[in-house]
Amino acid sequence: MDEADKPTSVAPPAAEAMTPRIEEPRDLVPALGSLPVAMPHAKPVRVRRRWPRLALALVLLAAAAGGGFYWWRQSQSALPPGIVTGNGRIEADEIDIDTKFAGRIAEMLADEGDMVKAQQPLARMDTRDLEASLKKSEAQIQQAQRAHDEARANVEQLTAQLTLAQQEFDRTSNLATRGYATLELLDQRRQALNGATAALTGAKFRVDQADRAIDMATNDAELYRVNIADNTLVAPRDGRIQYRIANIGEVLPAGGRVFTMLDISYVYMDVYLPTVEAGKIKIGSDARITLDALPNVAIPAKVAFVATQAQFTPKTVETKDERDKLMFRVRVKIDPERLKARGEYVRSGLPGVALVKYDATVAWPDNLQGNVPR
């Protein structure tokens, strides 16, 4: 091979061969020259978010508005001196409709929630046994009446015989006096007269006995009629059926409960007041009842009862602080006449507040004037 055909190689300089070639970054600061220094990453710019501060401001504004509204309501609901309040629940007298005798329920005529009137039938019990006994008593009445009629007829017959015996005795006595009749015949007429008198007396006793038998059979029949009537359960007063405990076909003992009804003519609220306030209240004091369900309605009422004994009594009452802990039960009752036209609105168990005015000279606030909707 010729020398011209051989590849020629050029050796790089020693410095360039030992040092790797590093390209200079374009963003290098000119003062750094050609040094291989990398630029640090730029920090992200934080954008301030204003919505947390705005939300906090809104919360504070709402709290201030709520506090202001609460203060306004408190100032509006502030009671003048002479009126006291207590918490309680509206209640109505409960009446249990029970069976008088053991028996089976044959018919139901009312259900829960029904408004009923006094003497309205609510349920009927099976009275077939009582009806059979009633028929037996009525038959005994007829039998006693026939015995009475027979005894009366016997009395009339014996009365006629007594009249005849009396006449015969009188005639024989006149004849014996004049010697036309013997003493033996006179004795016979006297004995016949005595026998007729005794027979008539016995017949009259049998009439009285027949009268007593009629009375006994009549009383038995009347008793069965009363028992049959008592097996028809009726409402004793106007009210609402609150619970139905039994159903048709059930056999109940004597006194078994079938219904529980509310007496809508006796609606009240019991509250407990401390000694200082309860001691100023009198029976008949004016009052108002407001319910949580109807806060804008004030129901007029009167104080019907103030307990003579305290509840929540501490073990010992030796200091004024202990006397202040004594609580007395006060019953506030709604006027029954007012309830007659609003019986369907009566609810039992609703919580509320009773306000009692012990100072008659104090006027009720405008919101407690007794604005009951008609």
Paired tokens of 359: 């100072």
Give the CATH H-level superfamily of domain 77-93+263-368.
Efflux pump adaptor protein, beta barrel domain (2.40.30.170)
Per-residue pLDDT at 73: 47
Mean pLDDT, the chain, rounded, equals 79
Indicate the pTM of the whole model: 0.60
Exposure class string for 79-102: b at 16+ Cβ within 10 A, else e:
eeeebbebebbbbbeebebbbebe
At 184, the pLDDT band (50, 70, 90 cuts) reads: confident
What's the pLDDT tens digit per position in 125-157? 999 999 999 999 999 999 999 988 888 888 888
For 253-290, what is each residue's pLDDT tens digit?
999 999 999 988 899 999 998 888 888 899 999 999 98
Q: What is the pLDDT of residue 117?
A: 92
Beta bridge partners of 302: 286, 333
Which segment of 41-55, 101-115, 209-223, 258-272 scores lowest on mean pLDDT? 41-55
Contacts of 335 (CB under 8 A, 6+ apart): 300, 301, 302
Judge whether 130 and 227 are in contact, CB under 8 Å.
yes
Domain residue ranges of the chain, discontinuous segments joined by +: 77-93+263-368, 96-125+232-252, 128-230
pLDDT at site 102: 94
Q: Residue 316: what pLDDT? A: 54
pLDDT at 51: 62
pLDDT at 5: 46
DSSP 4: T
CA 267/CA 346 separation, integer angstroms: 8
Q: Looking at the domain covering 96-125+232-252, what would its CATH class be?
A: mainly beta
Distance CA 98, CA 61 (A): 61
pLDDT band at 337 (very low <50, low <70, confident <90, very high): confident
| Average pLDDT of the segment spanning 16-41 | 46
Summarize the chain as % helix, strand, coil (round to 5).
40, 25, 35
